[in-house]
Structure 1
Amino acid sequence: MALRAVPIWGCCAKRQHCFLYAKRSDCQAGVSEVGFLNSGGERKWRCSAVLVEAKEKPPLTLSGVASLPGGSGVEEEEPQIAKPSGFHRDLQSLPKPLTAADFSSCPNDASNVRVAYQGIPGAYGEAAAIKAYPSCETVPCEQFEAAFKAVELWLVDKAVLPIENSVGGSLHRNYDLLLRHRLHIVGEVQLVVNHCLLGLPGVRKEELKRVLSHPQALDQCEMTLNKLGVVRVSVNDTAGAAQMIALEGTRDTGAVASARAAEIYGLDILAEYIQDISNNITRYLILAREPIIPGTDRPYKTSIVFTLEEGPGVLFKALACFSLRGISLSKIESRPQRKNPLRVVDASKGSVKYFDYLFYIDFEASMAEPRAQYALGHLQEIARFLRVLGCYPMDTAL
């Protein structure tokens, strides 16, 4: 029998920072603890979760039982699937991606960290999840929002999702989802992208007439694909392009995907590093239900989102909150508010309408540092809305 912690949430007083985690090593009478900082910076403890018995269940693997149960929530006997012959004999055994509407309860297994990512096995998101948690169990999701929901509904422990690329820029969809969902950023992963040209075994790249991949991957390999004179076809993701070629068996069609996708789907790597810019890096965020306790033992980064009152120089004043305290900003992103994108201002010569923006900022300081706390307190005085998305260790290794 194993023990698992059942957290009990409570409301925090205004301006208090609460952090919840179970301490199994020093628990007494089967009780875990909650730690929080009060307004005076003093750490307090109180019991808040009870350890209950739970049966150990084996982790899911890349077999036919790896996919989560369907939307009905009722376990059914797995149908017998005949093994297809050929180089793609194991494709039917890969885990089925989750959809936004396909959520049901799944077994709770604390033996491994379960990490959701967007795409199918062989996607770059899976590689980022493995870099963050080398021994994790990866769970593919069909859409970005499905990965958010999988964490919220306790189907997985973490989600690793892209937020920006050094060539393609920011992924605005995930910025919007960060605000819509109540998850916390607990880490980041910087992944070097190696775009490979894949084809069926024995095919030469000169034989290709079409190349499939995600639109961004096709754009990043424009020069190489132009030299080949191939027709570019957009699909949902890079690993999906490799899977399509393996299933269809079309010899004149290639894919731009990862080297891992070639291994999984039995394809040959016809060329490596075919992107136009060699230094191609994607930054991923690690999301969880609970925040981590910030420290000062390593470089930390804090991500926030806020809106400002109207007036001259308000954005300058907001940024000065950090500059005055010697805090570096590593990123600033503005997004129009989706529900109320236009702000109406009564000017002397009539009404003026312009976009009302949300500002996303990453600054290089830990919430455990007084200077970061003072900066946010100062910003709160001029911001109409302010939310801390997460404080987490910086990824300094490529």
Structure 2
Amino acid sequence: MASMTAPRLPFLAARTCSAAAAFSSLSSSPLQCCPVKRTSATNTNSAPLLSASRPGAPAADGVGSADLNRLRASAMPVADSPLPTYTDPHELPRPLTGADLMESGGEGLKVAYQGFPGAYSESAAKKAYPHCQTVPCEHFDTAFQAVENCTVDRAVLPLENTLGGSIHRNYDLLLRHELHIVGDVRHAVRHCLLANRGVKIGDLRSVMSHPQALAQCEHTLTELGIEQRQAVDDTAGAAKLFTEQMLQDTGAVASSLAAELYGLDILAENIQDEKENVTRFMMLAREPIVPQVDKPFKTSIVFPLEDWKPAQLLKALAVFALRDINLTKIESRPHKKRPFRVADDTFSTPVKYFNYLFYVDLEASMADPKTRKALGNLEEFAPFVRVLGSYPTDVSEV
């Protein structure tokens, strides 16, 4: 969904449009979208591997001091904060582009993913857009850039895994780039032990894969008698590497698709230590989608806190509890532009604490007025609030 700060992100600069205001005219006009620097699209028929070469918020009208558990504060969560309105015609929503109207199956879309052909991310991209043309990228950042400069139409990148947790790099890149989350897709990760033709499990002395994949199969690999581990950047890249080198004493942990693509034998299937191994991927686009209320939607936001008074984070999150909006995820990341905050002068020597950005997923749609009011209320506490996307919840079978 639209960026709720200035088009670029110089933190703590003056903001021209609030998070809630960006959706105030949703029922009568299309969405606002951050401007994105674009170049002419590259025609990549062969889909080669791509390589990489706001602030201060106005207070909501009518919000004054309040009392929560006998704690006084200059701004408190309130359930009836009025929505700010547009005053600058340049801030009005702009029309959606043709890219938003393309078939949901991905017919004609180019979709970037990180890794080599056969990576789990490619399978996730195919699940999200079954008829798309997948485009491998060397790094996560490359995939973001490919969407921004119109080399591809979408990107499908991992956000979190049930065993390994969050992919922090992609959370940081969400704030650095002006893209929008337009959907998410859950993909089951089923690791296989692969080897060159004719190689048996007893011949293997080592195995290579991505560090997360090796960690997820640690116990099983030890039981199979394979003690040495070689970490590489990508599961499919590991399969490609030892295929090219024709290694006879080394295997790879990768997908069955990688085995098919690189002509490898599958020596063992589903070797992850925990059978429920699922990764959630985000679908990124240059433009947001129109949120709805007729089906389950999720909204992802990011915000910092600046005025660190007692229970400030609790009060910020209370704006959602007061409106019965459920939070499904809270992720904190270092605030790289303002890495430290100084504690109150309680002690003779000033104490510096780490400062954070908070990424939050809501079980709510930006088409719901109470969601927009909650974000308008949140701006009482946050220097800025940015909506990363409001998109349908993946309810498909994993």
Q: TM-score, normalised by structure 1?
A: 0.76
Residue 114 of structure 2 contacts residue 139 of structure 2 at CA under 8 Å; is this kept in 1? Answer: yes
* TM-score for both structures, normalised by structure 2: 0.76
One of 236, 239, 260 as aligned partner of 2:236? 239
Partner of residue 226, structure 1: 222
* 1:351 alignment partner in structure 2: 350
Counterpart-to-counterpart distance in 2, 1:228 and 1:209: 10
- Once the 2 structures are TM-superposed, how far is the Cα of residue 289 of structure 1 from its aligned partner? 0.4
Counterpart residue identity of residue 327, structure 2? L
Residue 385 of structure 1 is matched in structure 2 by 384
Bigger relative contact order, structure 1 or 2 (CA pairs below 8 A, ≥6 apart): 2
Task: Give the Å deviation of 1:346.
Answer: 4.3
The whole-number CA distance in structure 1 between the counterparts of 2:209 and 2:150 is: 32
| Aligned equivalent of 1:303 | 300
Q: After the TM superposition, which segments of 4 or more aligned residues of structure 1 sit over 6 Å from their partners?
A: none
Amino acid at match of 1:14: C
Contact 2:332/2:359 (8 A) holds in 1: yes
CA contact (8 A) 1:213 1:255 kept: yes
Mapped pair 1:279 → 2:276: yes
Distance (whole Å) between structure 1 residues aligned to residue 152 and residue 393 of structure 2: 23
> How many Å apart are 1:245 and its aligned residue?
1.7
CA distance in 2, matches of 1:373, 1:140: 37
Deviation at 1:142, TM superposition (A): 0.1
1:98 pairs with 2:50 = yes
CA deviation digits over 1:250-273, x for unaligned, max 9? Answer: 111100000000000000110000
Q: Which amino acid aligns with 2:212?
A: Q
For these two proteins, the number of residue pairs brought into alignment is 320
Aligned ranges 1:227-376 → 2 under 5 Å? 227-230=223-226, 231-308=228-305, 309-348=307-346, 349-376=348-375
In 1, the alpha carbon distance for the partners of 2:19 and 2:317 equals 24
Unaligned segments of structure 2, at least 5 residues: 1-6, 8-14, 32-41, 54-98
> CA–CA distance in 2 between the matches of 1:191 and 1:165?
10
Residues 1:172 and 2:124 are matched in the alignment: no
For residue 212 of structure 1, the aligned residue among 194, 202, 208 is: 208
Tell me, which stretches of 5 or more residues in structure 1 are unaligned? 1-9, 19-35, 47-56, 61-65, 68-94, 102-107
Question: What are the superposed Cα offsets for residues 130-171 of structure 1, whole Å, 9 maximum, x if unpaired?
Answer: 000000000000000000000000000000000100000001
CA drift at 1:228: 2.4
Q: Whole-Å Cα distance in 2 between the matches of residues 386 and 244 of structure 1? A: 44
Structure 2 letter corresponding to 1:240: G
- Secondary structure, aligned partner of 1:351: coil
Measured in 2, the distance between the counterparts of 1:184 and 1:41 equals 17
Partner residue in 2 for 1:196: 192
Cα deviation code 1:341-394 (max 9, x no counterpart): 111234132311101110000010000011111111111111112100000000
RMSD between aligned residues? 2.3
Is residue 157–residue 283 contact of structure 2 (8 Å, CA) maintained in 1? yes
- In 2, distance between residues paired with 1:172 and 1:360? 11
Question: What is the identity, as a one-letter code, of the residue corresponding to 2:279?
Answer: T
| Alpha-carbon separation, structure 2, partners of 1:368 and 1:58 | 36
Displacement of 1:229: 2.7
Deviations 1:256-313 (A, max 9, x none): 0000000000001100000000000000000100000000121000000001121101
Aligned-pair CA distance for 1:213: 0.3
- Taking a change above 3 Å as real, the CA distance of residues 240 and 58 of structure 1, as seen in their structure-2 partners, is closer
C-alpha displacement of 1:15? 4.3
8 Å CA contact 2:19–2:385 kept in 1: the answer is no
Aligned-residue offset at 1:203: 1.5
Asked if the contact 1:246–1:265 (Cα under 8 Å) also holds between the matched residues in 2, the reply is: yes
Q: 1:201: how far off?
A: 1.3
Query: 5 Å matches for 1:145-156?
Result: 145-156=141-152
Partners in 2 of 1:343 and 1:236 — Cα distance?
A: 35
